[in-house]
Structure 1
Amino acid sequence: MARTQGSHAGTTGPKVREAALRLFARHGFAAVSMRQIAAEVGVQAGALYLYTPDKQTLLFELMRDHMDDLLSDWAPPGGGPMAELEDFARHHIRYHLDRPDLVFIAYMELRNLAPGNFVVIEGLRRDYENRLEAILRAGLAEGAFDIADPKLATMALISMLTGVTTWFRDDGRLTRADVETIYWEMVRKVVRPE
């Protein structure tokens, strides 16, 4: 099969992923067909299989790459649990505000992953959660934090921080820096009520 005029191997692959991301976020994984992705990219449907074996692989790779990037983009800065928690919270907000479609897919499309793919993504998510939980446990051990259950606090904080992507708009009344600071104050009060 001939390549569609104007398509190039180095640019079409990323375009396929970008189109899949947009369409999955807008319509949901189950409602999107490979033909829709091909039309969005401007190639014939059969040409997609040069870049991905199937739609499931596209979903899995989007989610896996998102988690790999998130995990590699943040490392504890040192300075003790409070400083690390602040850095984690601010980083989480910054990272996710730039990727609302990926965040939506990462949470809403887990149910559509094949069992083996689900295990991989769930493991990566657990690695990320464990980083926050380690900070909370260290703060609890030092007496810097006052929390009843570090695992529960981890889940609650990640949920709270990720929720910013559902309502924040760059043209809204608060800047990203405002949101980071306000959320950090809320996180601080959760771990060290006064």
Structure 2
Amino acid sequence: MARTQGSHGDITGPRVRAVAQTLFARHGFAAVSMRQIASEVGVQAGALYNYTPDKQTLLFELMRDHMAELLAAVSTQTHRSARAGLEAFVRFHIEFHHARPDAVFIAYMELRNLTPENFAEIERLRGAYEAVLERILQDGAAEGVFAVADQKVAAMAVIAMLTGVNTWFRADGRLSLCDVQDMYWDMVARMVSVGGSVSP
């Protein structure tokens, strides 16, 4: 089958995903049609199916790729102690997610629109990321510096707290991203440290 004039597979495929991400974040998955995506990309609606079988696959691949990138990035972190590891995780999570607001919005707000099979895969990837923080908390408990009643619950609570930065932080506001990282690190350290102490 001949390609739509002006279409190049190595360019159009990524552009389809980029446009879909922007539109899903702006209008919501349910409100966006394949025809609308095609119009923004600049191809005929039928041509989209050269790059994706359907809208559900687009949504799933956006979420999956976001999680894969997140897991790959966090896996490069090393630390000398649980406390250093927790601080690195806090700062990493805030910075990584701040740089990807559309991907983060979709990853949290559009889970309900995944098929059960796709939902299960994204949940598995999210669980792998939560496990990184759980291990840091477990290490801290072994070192005697962290005390939480349930490390899994604590990990989910901390991640939800850190992800919430995306809902209110603005780069042109009174606080810098570094200021926010400092404040959130202080709060998280107090939450999980033995006796609520943040001393080194």
Distance 2:17 2:81 in 1: 39
The reply to whether residue 73 of structure 1 matches residue 61 of structure 2 is no
Segments of 4+ moved more than 4 angstroms: none
CA RMSD of aligned residues (A): 1.1
For 2:137, the equivalent position in structure 1 comes to: 136
Distance 1:95 1:134 in 2: 20
Matches within 5 A, 1:37-186: 37-75=37-75, 76-186=77-187
Q: TM-score, normalised by structure 2?
A: 0.94
Per-residue Cα deviation, 1:87-123 (whole angstroms, up to 9, x for no partner): 1110000100000111110011111111111111000
Per-residue Cα deviation, 1:43-90 (whole angstroms, up to 9, x for no partner): 100010011010000000000000000000013412111000011110
Q: TM-score, normalised by structure 1?
A: 0.96
Distance 1:129 1:68 in 2: 13
Q: Percent identity?
A: 65
2:62 aligned partner, one-letter code:
L
2:38 aligned partner, one-letter code:
A
User: Is the partner of 1:53 in helix, strand or coil?
Assistant: coil
Distance 2:164 2:59 in 1: 22
Distance 1:190 1:65 in 2: 31
5+ residue gaps, structure 2:
none
5+ residue gaps, structure 1:
none
Number of residue-to-residue matches in the alignment: 194
Distance 2:131 2:88 in 1: 15
